[in-house]
């Protein structure tokens, strides 16, 4: 059996010192090299010998293309020749390709796929607007940075192909458009067809054309119609399906003419606002995407016909009398229960509040508006997943704890501490209900990578949980204190607060961290150790010992049991729901 020959690499190419092989394919090899003049790492694509020998053309095109700069394209630094082989020098991206990502994990979570495709389209649109047609788009030519930002690469090959025979078929076969096989002119519309196939694969985890032979693939490309619901094999919003259909039309005349048109159509789904400039950051896009999903999926918008009116008359600009607010709340028995529950929880121990008017008076208009908003969270509780039930119960448990900890944190208004504790995990709760597949992906990534949900939520959603919650909170016109209260505890040393808002933020985050430990600890011993460690770390921020904490946990468990009955938790509950209703026997407690 013959021994495979070892790849012999050049020591240097021009001013670049070759360090190692990054990969190889049908067109050549990719090398990691160091630019000796600028002292930076670069990726060099060294192509096999071809008919292209016009160095003057290459140099001129290189000057044009190397000026192109965009967050979603890999910068092309240089083009040249080395022993009759053309080479391209690209910015080095220390990450994996979209191909590797799909091969490793299958279909991307839906929201991540939509946001990422919009970013990919932004990069390709920039190329098209600068008269560059890629001609070889594929998941292998889209690199992902460590922050999961896609960057289109290998677009420099289109420069070389301008000097090749016009009838030469180039590209990755299963991602090619019908034009070269039907003897039709290619162009930016051909890139669009390819992008549709890539988007299909991102959503499904399957290659659109996966026939066993090149001939069969070409036949399928020439014969199959546009992507429809049957081909996709999954339920998606009609607007997404429309984008896929138009981008994958076999007839170029029926297709988006360029990537910008396709991006505009996709962003109409992500950002349904008139007059938008279509330049969207992933974080804003995810918030808008969630707001749109809320409008079509049961949950927040379905509490009652009075929700919009309630939010309007409890806004900062409203001059409506409290009696009008009471009358509207009284029409909805569920909302009435929520307001009374919040009033009795926020002012626990003073007196039992049974009259709705008194509850509204004690809470105040701002707190009632918060109550209305939180009621939206609870509306689907009975029909929600076990994860949603536990998240909502934990939010309430955290709220009661935060109210109890208001004193040690020097917070005068305990109701404010309660509210901040209630909304601290808004982003995570929304993800559980509206993006269940993405939430599962976050949990699985955290387990597989020995990481945590907060870190992996950014990888999957494009934003961390607390950033998503803050974005929605801003749309709901929640106060700055509540929005800042969604931030998690610092991973490092904890410091004293500088102002009232920071005190609320620290109190809410600290209470949530405690509730999380109680809900997830495998044993009483583990719970006690984790809480003791947290108390020691929080010493610069708050003065409280284990015995005092045990008293607050006992109170939180008592009220959480009442809350669970109100929400009709039932017998089928998670272990976390059970733990939250029982004060743990902590070691070291008096």
Catalytic residue numbers?
A: 136
Contacts 24+ apart (CB under 8 A), 438-442: 438/109, 438/110, 438/111, 438/112, 439/387, 441/109, 441/112
Using CA atoms of 376, 381, 385, 389 in order, give the dihedral in degrees to the nearest 10. Answer: 100
Residue holding tokens 């933020």?
Answer: 505
The CA distance from 384 to 257, in Å, is 43
DSSP state for residue 291 in the 8-state scheme: H
CB atoms within 10 A of CB 5: 6
DSSP state for residue 445 in the 8-state scheme: H
DSSP state for residue 35 in the 8-state scheme: E
Residues 6+ positions from 353 with CB-CB distance below 8 Å: 340, 343, 344, 347, 359, 362
Residues 6+ positions from 12 with CB-CB distance below 8 Å: 18
The CA distance from 129 to 115, in Å, is 21
The CA distance from 306 to 501, in Å, is 32
Show the tokens assigned to 441. Answer: 């992906």
CB atoms within 10 A of CB 169: 11
Distances (CA, A) of 298 to 89, 164, 471: 51, 56, 20
What kind and span of H or E run contains 324?
helix 322-330
Residue holding tokens 């297709």?
Answer: 255
The CA distance from 419 to 523, in Å, is 29
The CA distance from 333 to 281, in Å, is 41
The CA distance from 9 to 18, in Å, is 8
Contact 351, 359 (CB under 8 A): no
């Amino acid at each position: 059996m013959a021994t495979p020959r070892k790849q012999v690499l050049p020591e240097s190419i021009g001013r670049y010192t070759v360090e190692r092989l990054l990969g190889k394919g049908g067109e050549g090899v990719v090398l990691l090299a160091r630019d000796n003049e600028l002292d930076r790492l670069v990726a060099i694509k060294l192509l096999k010998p071809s008919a292209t020998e016009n160095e003057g053309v290459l140099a001129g095109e290189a000057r044009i293309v190397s000026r192109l700069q965009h967050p979603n394209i890999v910068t092309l630094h240089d083009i040249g020749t080395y022993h009759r082989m053309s080479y391209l020098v690209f910015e080095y991206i220390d990450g994996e390709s979209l191909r590797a990502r799909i091969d490793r994990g299958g279909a991307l979570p839906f929201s991540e796929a939509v946001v990422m495709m919009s970013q990919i389209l932004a990069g390709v649109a920039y190329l098209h607007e600068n008269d560059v047609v890629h001609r070889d788009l594929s998941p292998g030519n889209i690199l992902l940075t460590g922050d999961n930002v896609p960057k289109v690469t290998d677009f420099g090959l289109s420069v070389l192909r301008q000097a090749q025979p016009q009838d030469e078929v180039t590209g990755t076969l299963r991602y090619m458009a019908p034009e070269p096989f039907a003897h039709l002119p290619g162009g930016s519309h051909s890139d669009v067809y390819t992008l549709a196939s890539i988007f299909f694969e991102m959503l499904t985890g399957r290659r659109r054309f996966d026939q066993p032979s090149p001939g069969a693939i070409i036949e399928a490309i020439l014969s199959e119609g546009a992507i429809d619901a049957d081909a996709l094999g999954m339920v998606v919003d009609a607007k997404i399906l429309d984008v896929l259909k138009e981008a994958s039309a076999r007839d170029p005349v029926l297709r988006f003419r360029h990537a910008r048109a396709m991006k505009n159509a996709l962003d109409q789904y992500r950002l349904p606002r008139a007059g938008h400039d279509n330049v969207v950051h992933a974080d804003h896009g995810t918030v808008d995407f969630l707001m749109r999903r809320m409008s079509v999926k049961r949950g927040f918008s379905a509490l009652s016909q009075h929700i919009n009116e309630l939010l309007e008359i409890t806004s900062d600009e409203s001059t409506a009398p409290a009696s009008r607010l009471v009358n509207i709340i009284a029409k909805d028995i569920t909302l009435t229960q929520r307001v009374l529950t919040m009033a009795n929880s926020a002012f626990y121990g003073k007196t039992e509040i049974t009259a709705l008017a008194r509850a509204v008076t004690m809470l105040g208009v701002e707190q009632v508006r918060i109550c209305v908003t939180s009621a939206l969270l609870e509306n689907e509780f009975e029909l929600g997943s076990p994860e949603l039930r536990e998240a909502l119960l934990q939010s309430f448990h955290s709220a009661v704890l935060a109210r109890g900890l208001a004193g040690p944190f020097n917070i005068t208004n305990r109701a404010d501490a309660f509210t901040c504790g209630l909304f601290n995990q808004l982003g995570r709760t929304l993800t559980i209900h509206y993006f269940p597949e993405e939430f599962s992906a976050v949990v699985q990534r955290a387990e597989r990578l020995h990481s945590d949900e907060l870190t992996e939520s950014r990888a999957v959603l494009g934003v961390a949980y607390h950033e998503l919650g803050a974005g929605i909170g801003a749309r709901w016109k929640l106060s700055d204190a509540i929005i800042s209260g969604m931030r998690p505890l610092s991973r490092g040393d904890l410091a004293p607060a500088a102002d009232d808002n920071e005190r609320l933020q620290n109190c809410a985050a600290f209470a949530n961290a405690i509730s999380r430990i109680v809900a997830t600890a495998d044993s009483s011993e583990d719970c006690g150790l984790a809480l003791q460690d947290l108390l020691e770390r929080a010493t610069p921020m708050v003065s409280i010992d284990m015995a005092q904490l045990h008293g607050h946990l006992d109170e939180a468990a008592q009220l959480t049991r009442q809350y669970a009955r109100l929400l009709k938790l039932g017998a089928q509950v998670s272990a976390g729901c059970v733990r939250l209703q029982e004060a743990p026997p902590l070691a070291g407690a008096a």
